[in-house]
Amino acid sequence: MGAYATAGMQMVAARPCISASQGMLTSRAAVCQIGRTLSTSTGFASCPRICYSSPLGSSKRSGVAIRAMSRESGPQGLPIDLRGKRAFIAGVADDNGYGWAIAKALAAAGAEILVGTWVPALNIFETSLRRGKFDESRKLPDGSLMEIVKVYPLDAVYDSPEDVPEDVKGNKRYAGSSNWTVKEAAESVKNDFGSIDILVHSLANGPEVTKPLLETSRRGYLAAISASSYSFVSLLQHFLPIMNPGGATISLTYIASERAIPGYGGGMSSAKAALESDTRVLAFEAGRKGKIRVNTISAGPLGSRAAKAIGFIEKMIEYSYVNAPLQKELLAEEVGNTAAFLVSPLASAITGSIVYVDNGLNTMGLAVDSPTISS
């Protein structure tokens, strides 16, 4: 199973919790006293400290400027703050896909990172981490390195040990690993950490992805659905009991779910369509049952190792660059930043949504400056 391949929102102005006429406030001391009274006596703990940019006794009384300052030290603005949150990201097997970018964005926002890695790729991934191969990729905006607290073996095609065929159990690529079905992974996380706040589904696989749909076998089609869409249902089903209320989940989809993308075959377009439909239904069910938000990101093409299995990923990237409203390279970190926003309190009312991060390509029906037309 291939793995799919912290931003701050600046607040321009903030209104103070209280306002007063200049005639009422004649000195900085009076302002500070009122601020202390509000915060300690009336319980307005969230009321920002009030400061004046010029002396109150200034002759330009009509131009007094008031600005709200955070009580805590640090950058001003409206930050994405995930401190104290724990995230489990399923589908991280290297350092160049969307799963890795999401992990970095969540870590930069302060979240604790746990990852689930496809069993056959587990040894290489852990060895690369241990030997520092990913150190450059682990760098966060503040210069520190992203810490992955624990890596769990995971094959999200199998819900429980009873579902694993004998030939897979005896496969040498699974030798030495245990507790890697979805149910067992959730139990392991519960035993180790008790609970999580964020669940990320960043995995997909279509064994016949290079085949046109008309040539796709039933087995290949169902395998794509199982690995790429039902795996999300299974993950949420098993992790929901250990998710803290107010938590959030994210999955990754692609525009082939709603537009014809020749070459993206083997049932993968159908799997993405199912994933998006499931997002809406799960948003209702998980929202009512556990107060959990469920969203999916429709990301543009990225030249990750997993995406190269499609066979023409470079052409897809070039097409997007030429025809999208924003003619620029799509960066994995842009998807990561969007994920960080969606799982943060800043997106507390967003659920059941498909959020497009593709430089706007999804909006296009015809690009008038397309080389096809100009020729």
> Known catalytic residues?
254, 264
Helix or strand holding residue 190 (H, E): helix 182-193
Task: Report how far residue 303's alpha carbon sits from residue 78's, in angstroms, rounded to the nearest whole number.
Answer: 32
E strand spans, 233-342: 243-253, 293-299
Residue type, 196: I
Give the residue among 340, 329, 336 at the shortest CA–CA distance from 303: 329
Paired strand residues for 249: 199, 294
Distance CA 25, CA 27 (A): 6
Helical packing angle, 231-239 and 182-193, nearest 10°:
30
**CA–CA distance, 185 with 156 (Å, rounded to integer):** 9
At 33, the amino acid letter reads Q
Please list, in sequence order, all residues whose beta carbon lies within 8 angstroms of the beta carbon of residue 276, skipping any fewer than 6 positions away. Answer: 253, 257, 258, 296, 298, 354
What whole-number distance in Å separates Cα of residue 273 and Cα of residue 277? 6
